[in-house]
Each structure stands twice: as C-alpha cells, then as structure tokens.
Amino acid sequence: MKTKLYKPSDSSIAYSVGTTLDRFIKIKQNEFSFASGELSQILRDIALAAKIVNRETNRAGLANIGGAFGQTNVQGEEQQKLDVIANIRFTRALTKGGEVCAVVSEEDDEVIDLQNGSGKYVVAIDPLDGSSNIDVNISIGTIFSIYRRVTPVGSPIQPEDIMQPGNQQVAAGYVLYGSSTMLVYTTGHGVNGFTYEPSLGEFFLSHPNMCAPKGGDIYSINEGTSNLFEPGLKKYIELCKERQFSARYIGSLVADFHRNLLKGGIYIYPATSKSPKGKLRLLYEANALAFIAEQAGGMATDGYGRILDIKPTSLHQRTPLYIGSPDMVVEAENFLKASLEKVAEK
C-alpha cells in the first residue's frame, strides 16, 4: 500500500485547538505515582460534573434553580438549590466512574460510602463554593481533594481513610465558574489550568505551569469583622493600607484565590474572637487550595503553622486560612506571632 508521511497542516487554514485535559493527563502519566488510568478517570468524572454544573449555573436565572433549597446543611448554613444540584452531580459522577470508594462533602453530614468495591480513592469536595453569590451572578467554584485510601481495597471505609492530613493528597484542584470556566489541578508536580471551550465541550490547557508571584499588592479579607481580629492581624491589615495595597474580596474563596494566584496577593479568612477556628473547612476547602498554592510556589498556613500538616480530628472541622504569595503569608504570620509574644511577655 502506498502511504505518505503526515505533515502538520497549515495553521492559518485550520488553527490548532490545543491540548485537551484528557490528552494532558495522558502525556503527564509518569508523574502520577499510581495507575494513571485511575486518576484520569477521576479527573474525567470531575470534569464531566463540572461541565454540567457550569451549564446549570449559566441558566440558573431562567430555570428556577436559583435561591434557597429550604434546608440547612450540617454546619447550619442555608443550602442553595445549586449547592444541592452540584452535590448530586459530583457524587453521581464519582460513583459511576468507579475509582472512588467514599466522598466527604460540605453538603453531607456523614461520609458517603459509594459502594464501589474496587475504589481506591477518597474524595473531599466543596461542590459549590461561594454559593451566596449564585443569585447575584458572581463567580463561584468547586474545590476537590483526592486521597488514596489506606485500608485494604474492598473492606469497609475506616476513619483513617478519611482523616488524612493534606500532605497525603495525591491530587487536588478547583473549578472556577467565572467569566470563563476553568479547571486547575495538581498531582504534586506543578499546577496547570484548563479553560472550558463550551462549543466543543472540552477543557483545553490554557495556563501551563502556574506560578504564584513571590510577593503581591492585593489583600483579600472580609474586613467587616475587623474589630474581632487578633491584634497582630489588625496591624498587618494597617500595613497593607499604609502600602496602599488593593483590597479585593469577592466572597467566593475559589475566585479570590485564583485571582491572587495569578496576580500576587494574600487571601485571609482569620480566626476571630467569635469564631476562633474561622469559617473555612479544612478537608474540602483549605487542604486542596493549600496543596495547589504550595505547588505553585505559594504558601498556606493557619496563621501559625502549615495547613497541610494539620491532622484532622473531625469531618467538617474549620481552620483559619492565610494563603497566597509566600512573602505576604510569611509577613502576616510574623505579625501574628510578634503580637502573641508581646502578650506573653506582659
């Protein structure tokens, strides 16, 4: 048979659409310490659910799926309809994919056993982050952490499979439903971002090897509760103002984190005298973003120590969060520690 060698075609006639998420995972398969097919399947499941949630989010105002669901979650927060929809979409996709045995979700009080006998992975997820922003058409997100279970595959899920510190994550990521929809993830070898192309229904690599600027001039914190901040934090915020940094706070952690990752900045959800553990949840908010931040050259602490080294003691436990450009996180932490030392001296 006569053949001819393939020559790349003229890109002025048919431009290259780039690298899809799926192809990228395959190219990078050697970087994942476990079977790459398993990880690809989980990421594919998450990407599929994200596409559906993206669709629901985009038509929320038309489809009567905005507004409250009429129930509160385990943390006493009012669930939005889209919180519930997103939770169903992600849990269903992970169940059908078959690689995940258990899911920890913000929207479920207990661990969900997916009854996937051969599932080797555990996923912790905030299906919809920033849900108070849904009805006002502002960016929202999804946050996920992936762990290997530690007890034998096929046996009942044990607490030690779930209560793993963030430093045991094998992959983590977020989806941002913003001016465009993006999926950003890490497997511990840098951070890569993919933008959704709705007409093709695919995520394409758009932000290879994302790196957090070392310093920055954006600070993101809800200052409405500043009279409840600890003294060191009050001083740090004063310093940000003296330096005329920009205050930027969307109220969707994913969106605030993503902006600061690209532009350089710090996101703080602090401990206050009213909420000594802050608001954000360790297992499905802080850990994933901490892993991504560190992989991008950034930093994440609770003000005093590394987020990824916290040993969880309960499913929905909260933690203060200082995350973003490393120089800024270190400086904020120094202010907190110096203030504490002063109190101790007295």
**What does the binding site for Mn ion look like in residue numbers (CB under 5 A)?**
106, 126, 128-129
| Location of structure tokens 């959704």 | 196
Which CB sits closer to Mn ion, 102 or 254? 254
The option from ligand AHG, Mn ion, none interacting with 333 (CB < 5 to 8 A, set by class) reads: none
Q: Should residue 287 be labelled a site residue for ligand AHG when binding is judged by CB under 6 A?
A: no
**How many Cα atoms are found within 13 Å in the side-chain-facing hemisphere of 137?**
5
Three-state secondary structure string covering 2-52: CCCCCCCCCCCCCCCCCCEHHHHHHHCHHHCCCCHHHHHHHHHHHHHHHHH
Over the range 210-229, which residues count as b (16 or more CB within 10 Å of their CB) and which as e?
bebbeebbbbbbeeeeeeeb
Distance CA 60, CA 53 (A): 10
| Shortest Å distance, C-beta 343 to ligand AHG | 26
Looking at 110-252, list the stretches that DSSP marks H as alpha helix, in order from N- to C-terminal side.
159-162, 231-242
Q: Should residue 251 be labelled a site residue for ligand AHG when binding is judged by CB under 6 A?
A: yes
DSSP state of 106: T
Q: Should residue 252 be labelled a site residue for ligand AHG when binding is judged by CB under 6 A?
A: yes
The option from Mn ion, ligand AHG, none interacting with 119 (CB < 5 to 8 A, set by class) reads: none
Residues 113-142 that bind ligand AHG (CB under 6 A): 126, 129-131
Which CB sits closer to ligand AHG, 81 or 279? 279
What the block records as the tokens of 186 is 């890490």
* Residue count, binding to ligand AHG (CB under 6 A): 11
The option from ligand AHG, Mn ion, none interacting with 251 (CB < 5 to 8 A, set by class) reads: ligand AHG
Which CB sits closer to ligand AHG, 74 or 150? 74
| Shortest Å distance, C-beta 132 to Mn ion | 9
**Amino acid, res. 315:** L
> Which residue of this chain has its Cβ atom nearest to Mn ion in the complex?
129
The option from Mn ion, ligand AHG, none interacting with 71 (CB < 5 to 8 A, set by class) reads: none
| Shortest Å distance, C-beta 143 to ligand AHG | 8
Q: Should residue 107 be labelled a site residue for ligand AHG when binding is judged by CB under 6 A?
A: no
Q: Should residue 85 be labelled a site residue for ligand AHG when binding is judged by CB under 6 A?
A: no
Looking at 144-275, list the stretches that DSSP marks H as alpha helix, in order from N- to C-terminal side.
159-162, 231-242, 253-263
| Shortest Å distance, C-beta 106 to Mn ion | 5
| Shortest Å distance, C-beta 285 to Mn ion | 5
Spatial CB neighbours of 153, under 8 Å, sequence gap ≥ 6: 101, 117, 118, 119, 120
The three-point CA angle 240-242-244 to 5° equals: 70
305 neighbors 272 (Cβ within 8 angstroms): no
Q: Should residue 279 be labelled a site residue for ligand AHG when binding is judged by CB under 6 A?
A: yes
| Shortest Å distance, C-beta 161 to ligand AHG | 23
Q: Should residue 302 be labelled a site residue for ligand AHG when binding is judged by CB under 6 A?
A: no
What the block records as the tokens of 279 is 């608001």
Own/partner pairs for 112-115, CB < 8 Å, 24+ apart?
113/156, 113/157
Site track 194-223 with ligand AHG (rule: CB under 6 A), x = hit = ----------------------------x-
Q: Should residue 259 be labelled a site residue for ligand AHG when binding is judged by CB under 6 A?
A: no
Give the sheet arrangement for strand 100-105, strand by strand: 112-113, 100-105, 121-129, 140-148, 171-177, 181-186, 191-197, 202-207
Residues that bind ligand AHG (CB under 6 A): 77, 106, 126, 129-131, 222, 251-253, 279
